[in-house]
Every structure is written in structure tokens, then in C-alpha cells.
Amino acid sequence: MSTEVVFICDVRYLMEMACGGDLWRIHGKAMNHPVVAPGEMIMPSSPTSYDPEAKRFTTVSGRVYQIESFGELEEKFVEQIQKDIAAKGYEVH
């Protein structure tokens, strides 16, 4: 489990095409990810919690993401992340 906060910008939900069901999941540009180069697009694992005041979410992997900017309406993002947390996983289409 990671304790380092990863800064992420241009955060939004996009469809990830997959066999057996397409996932509506979080995408964003990592700024200080320990594995991904700065500015590269990442797709965090499923969210487990979200703090709307701090604009920070934690994923099933234990990584914490600090949202620096949204790539969609913040209200839309918050609505979807709350659904995913309640469902304990990303929405499948």
C-alpha cells in the first residue's frame, strides 16, 4: 500500500473498451506517479473513498490521488465516483 499522494490533473471518466464489458473509469494525467512519467495518462484502480472538500480519492490499491483539475464538470465526476464507491467497482456497460 502506497502512502505517497499522486497529483492528477484533467481528471474525467472515459470508457475503457474491454472484452466482456466496457468500463466507465477514471482517467487523468499523472504529475508525480512513482511508475508513470509526468504528464502521461493513467487509469487508477477502482475508487474506495472520495473527499469532496479536499478533492482527493483513494483506490483499491491504496494509492491516494489529489485532483488538481477536472476534465469534465466536477459535479458529474463526483456523482459517478460516488456510484462506483457504493458499487465497490467501476460501472460496466
pTM above 0.85, yes or no: yes
Distances (CA, A) of 62 to 22, 42, 45, 72: 24, 15, 9, 24
Tell me the C-alpha distance between 15 and 75, whole Å: 18
What average pLDDT does this structure show over 17-22?
75
Contacts of 52 (CB under 8 A, 6+ apart): 78
Tell me the C-alpha distance between 83 and 91, whole Å: 8
39-91 per-position pLDDT tens digit: 999 999 999 999 999 999 999 999 999 999 999 999 999 999 999 999 999 98
Tell me the C-alpha distance between 43 and 1, whole Å: 17
